[in-house]
């Protein structure tokens, strides 16, 4: 709707580990080179599941920001902020709640999932149910069109799109919309106006998606439009309503999975993490004592890299020659596990 | 830093070394923020302010569309 804008956030979990670094932060650093970016510490989100443990939130937020900066986020390119310090998020979440059917929230796959997984606490709360709605407010309030997320979050972004569509459908109505939209088209100037009309017709009469895309690009390239006119022109392409909250896209990037030292998901609370800024001696100790393929009890037992937590590290950190050496050595028992780790 | 050099002379790219090498610039960049936490506070205060400005633009439209414009 406007220029490209990237938005993403993380719950404050304190110091980041290499899973955060390879799974998200490196990607953020890349994105800030090309787009306007906003990244926030999701402290309200932390309370949706950890409402009984608020003690660590603030300290965790500051530790997390240091690691974002250490990863290379550049404050002159990326806006870094704290969710709860921009109270408008709560206002929008409240307002979106007026028109969001409860069933939409109950159907979110992670809702029941997480309730079962985190069975040590009571998550039959209003805040936990409404969490995807708050996430919707986080995104929509910046009219961000690109939302880098992990696979588990794609369904949330899809829900946000539905909420935006519903919002625009209900609140994008406007008295005299068609006349106002036509007047806005004229303001594009005769050449662009003609092009806009051609593309709009191509989409509306023939369902030409490429034409819709091209028309949106045309509007994005047009700088001197009043906000109301911009919303009308976007809305007029598809129908008879203003687009107040544009639908975001999940930006699913191929990130390497970094399992923890024991092969489980890397997490500080499982004690299986290598921190992003780990003491070098500690890195050595942690990797040396990592678990390997359980089938390799003796040095002479052949193994399977796919069953070994060290293998994903090779996939991230080693070149092809080393990886070939590892696969061959491991599966034929040509090398021992310690050799492999030190490779 | 490690003692394996003489035991595994062919080692060029140890996972351990690769991780330590990757983290060196991270340690370096973090240092000034660890030394002076006000730098981080200021960056985030500026970020919050900028975010609030952008959020407010959208909220004006949202409030108006939902019948809550009083100006």
List of domains in chain A: 5-171+247-252 (3.40.50.620), 177-238 (no CATH), 268-342 (1.10.240.10)
What is the reported pLDDT for B14?
A: 67
CA-CA distance, B12 to A319, in Å (whole number)?
A: 10
**Alpha carbon of A53: minimum distance to chain B alpha carbons (Å):** 23
Per-residue buried b or exposed e for A59-70, using 16+ beta carbons within 10 Å of the residue's own CB: ebbbbbbbbbbb
Place of tokens 């996430």: A135
Q: What is the mean pLDDT of chain B?
A: 84
Q: What is the mean pLDDT of residues A259-279?
A: 89
What is the reported pLDDT for A41?
A: 98
Question: Is 60 exceeded by the pLDDT of residue B9?
Answer: no
The answer to whether the CB atoms of B66 and A341 lie below 8 A apart is no
Q: What is the mean pLDDT of chain A?
A: 90
Residue A2 banded pLDDT, cuts 50, 70, 90:
low
Question: Is 70 exceeded by the pLDDT of residue A227?
Answer: yes
The answer to whether the CB atoms of B26 and A277 lie below 8 A apart is yes
Q: What is the DSSP letter of A259?
A: B
Q: What is the mean pLDDT of residues A300-317?
A: 84
| Tens-place pLDDT, residues B21-33 | 999 999 999 999 9
Question: Is 80 exceeded by the pLDDT of residue B3?
Answer: no
| Tens-place pLDDT, residues A295-307 | 777 788 888 888 8
**Alpha carbon of B31: minimum distance to chain A alpha carbons (Å):** 8
Q: What is the mean pLDDT of residues A60-69?
A: 97
Q: Looking at chain B, which residue has its C-alpha nearest residue A79?
A: B47
Nearest to B61 among A65, A244, A317 (CB): A244
Q: What is the mean pLDDT of residues B51-55?
A: 98
Q: Residue A174: CB partners within 8 Å, gap ≥ 6?
A: A180, A232, A241, A242
Per-residue buried b or exposed e for A191-221, using 16+ beta carbons within 10 Å of the residue's own CB: eeeeebeebbebbeeeeeeebbebbbebbee
What is the helix (H) or strand (E) element at residue A168, kind and residue range?
helix A154-171
Neighbours of A151 (CB within 10 A): 10
- Cβ atoms A91, B52 nearer than 8 A: no
| Tens-place pLDDT, residues A117-166 | 888 889 999 999 999 999 999 999 999 999 999 888 899 999 999 999 99
Q: Which of A290, A265, A310, A251 is nearest to A6 (CA)?
A: A251
CA-CA distance, A190 to B21, in Å (whole number)?
A: 58
What is the reported pLDDT for A192?
A: 94
What is the reported pLDDT for A343?
A: 62
The answer to whether the CB atoms of B19 and A317 lie below 8 A apart is yes
| B58 near A CB under 8 A | yes
Neighbours of A34 (CB within 10 A): 10
Q: Helix H segments across A187-309?
A: 190-206, 209-221, 227-238, 280-288
What is the reported pLDDT for A246?
A: 93
**Alpha carbon of A61: minimum distance to chain B alpha carbons (Å):** 11
A143: left (phi over 0), alpha (psi -120 to 50) or beta: left
Which residue did the predictor score with more confidence, A89 or A222? A89
Grouping H, G, I as helix, E, B as strand and the rest as coil, residue A141 is coil
Q: Which of A15-19, A157-161, A311-315 has the lowest mean pLDDT?
A: A311-315
Question: Is 90 exceeded by the pLDDT of residue A338?
Answer: no
Grouping H, G, I as helix, E, B as strand and the rest as coil, residue A148 is strand
Chain A with chain B: Cβ pairs closer than 8 A: 144
CB contacts of A21 in chain B (<8 Å) are 26
Q: Which of A68-82, A83-97, A242-256 has the lowest mean pLDDT?
A: A242-256
CB contacts of B65 in chain A (<8 Å) are 171-172, 242, 244
Question: Is 60 exceeded by the pLDDT of residue B5?
Answer: no
- Cβ atoms A152, A110 nearer than 8 A: yes
């Amino acid at each position: 709707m406007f220029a490209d804008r990237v938005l993403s956030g993380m719950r404050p979990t304190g110091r980041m580990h290499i899973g955060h670094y390879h799974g998200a932060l490196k990607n953020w650093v890349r994105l800030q080179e090309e787009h306007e970016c906003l990244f926030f510490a999701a402290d309200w989100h932390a309370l949706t599941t950890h409402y009984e443990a608020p003690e660590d939130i603030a300290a965790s937020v500051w530790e997390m920001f240091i690691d974002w900066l250490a990863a290379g986020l550049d404050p002159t390119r990326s806006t870094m902020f704290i969710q709860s310090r921009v109270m408008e998020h709560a206002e929008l979440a409240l307002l979106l709640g007026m028109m969001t059917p409860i069933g939409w929230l109950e159907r979110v796959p992670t809702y029941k999932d997480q309730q079962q997984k985190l069975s040590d606490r009571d998550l039959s709360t209003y805040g936990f149910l409404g969490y995807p709605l708050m996430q919707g407010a986080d995104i929509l309030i910046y009219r961000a069109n690109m939302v880098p997320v992990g696979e588990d979050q794609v369904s949330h972004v899809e829900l946000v799109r539905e909420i935006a569509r519903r919002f625009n459908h209900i609140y994008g109505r406007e008295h005299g919309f068609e006349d106002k939209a036509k007047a806005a088209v004229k303001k594009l100037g005769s050449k662009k106006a003609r092009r806009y009309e051609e593309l709009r017709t191509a989409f509306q009469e023939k369902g030409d998606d490429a034409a819709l895309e091209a028309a949106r690009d045309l509007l994005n390239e047009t700088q001197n439009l009043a906000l109301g006119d911009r919303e009308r022109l976007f809305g007029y392409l598809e129908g008879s309503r203003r687009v107040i909250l544009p639908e975001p896209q999940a930006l699913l990037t191929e990130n390497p999975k970094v399992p923890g030292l024991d092969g489980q998901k890397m997490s500080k609370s499982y004690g299986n993490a290598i921190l992003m800024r780990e003491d070098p001696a500690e890195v050595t100790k942690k990797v040396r004592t990592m678990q390997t393929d359980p089938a390799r009890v003796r040095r002479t037992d052949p193994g399977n890299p796919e069953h070994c937590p060290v293998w994903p590290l090779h996939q991230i950190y080693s070149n092809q020659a080393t990886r070939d050496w590892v696969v061959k050595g491991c599966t034929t028992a040509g090398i021992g596990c310690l050799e492999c780790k030190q490779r | 830093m490690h003692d394996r050099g003489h035991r595994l002379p062919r080692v060029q790219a140890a996972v351990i070394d690769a991780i330590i090498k990757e983290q060196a610039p991270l340690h370096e960049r973090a240092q000034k923020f660890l030394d002076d936490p006000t730098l981080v506070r200021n960056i985030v205060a500026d970020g919050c302010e900028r975010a609030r400005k952008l959020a407010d633009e959208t909220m004006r439209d949202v409030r108006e569309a939902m019948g809550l414009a009083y100006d």
